[in-house]
Chain A
Amino acid sequence: NAGVTQTPKFQVLKTGQSMTLQCAQDMNHNSMYWYRQDPGMGLRLIYYSASEGTTDKGEVPNGYNVSRLNKREFSLRLESAAPSQTSVYFCASSGDRGRPYDEQFFGPGTRLTVL
């Protein structure tokens, strides 16, 4: 039982390049999330998927797209990377949408640098 896995762990891009961050969970969770973590800013929600087939914008969605490929996988795409997207990206999953005490499980993160 690996929990939440993310690939790659590290990535360096040049401005304007594109890439996709991959996330998978093996806990049969319904909901999945993408966050970015920046110094002094905490974690900010980029996009989430409450259930398979649905996606919604979070606090900072500009410059990103997501795909909920199936119940296990939720990918984050940067179409044209910018230096402002340099950050650590975390994927998370949780069991049921709307449960007020639901726990989110986090992956180990992807450290992205855009030059």
Chain B
Amino acid sequence: GNSVTQMEGPVTLSEEAFLTINCTYTATGYPSLFWYVQYPGEGLQLLLKATKADDKGSNKGFEATYRKETTSFHLEKGSVQVSDSAVYFCALMGYSTLTFGKGTMLLVSP
């Protein structure tokens, strides 16, 4: 079946540091890939997505590239802000349902 593996957190960074959160997946076929973000006390919201190999999704300074050869979709941001503190979930879309990773908490200090 489908599965998503994310690096465990929390990831603790200072403001303006570079961020990488690793995500790898196992799936049959060619799934679409997503990063969702959950701010404290809220539901999840879509951050970015990629639908085919070599696609790069980007939003709010975050980027992730769909790498079929390494089955990866790592999330990156060049300069994090305190307001980026949240839990980040990598996910893949099978036929009609999402499979989520366990989430990675990001804590950014001033």
Contacts and interface: CB of A to CB of B under 8 A. Distances in A.
A100 B89 CA distance: 18
A interface, size bucket: 20 to 34
Interface of A: 4, 31, 33, 40-45, 48, 50, 58, 90, 92, 97-98, 100-109
A100 B96 CA distance: 8
Contact of A104 (B41, B51, B95, B98): B98
Contacts of A109: 42-43
B17 interface: no
A68 B46 CA distance: 24
B97 interface: yes
B37 to A, nearest CB: 11
B44 interface: yes
Interface residues of B, number: 21
Interface in B72-105: 89, 93, 95-98, 100-103
Interface of B: 31-32, 34, 41-46, 49, 51, 89, 93, 95-98, 100-103
Given A101-B32, A107-B43, A42 B98 contact: no
B42 A108 contact: yes
Contacts of A102: 93
Nearest to B6: A42
A106 B49 contact: no
B43 A98 contact: no
B44 to A, nearest CB: 5
B51 A101 contact: yes
Given A100-B31, A101-B32, A101-B49, A45 B44 contact: no
A45 B23 CA distance: 20
A80 to B, nearest CB: 26
Contact of B89 (A40, A42, A50, A101): A42
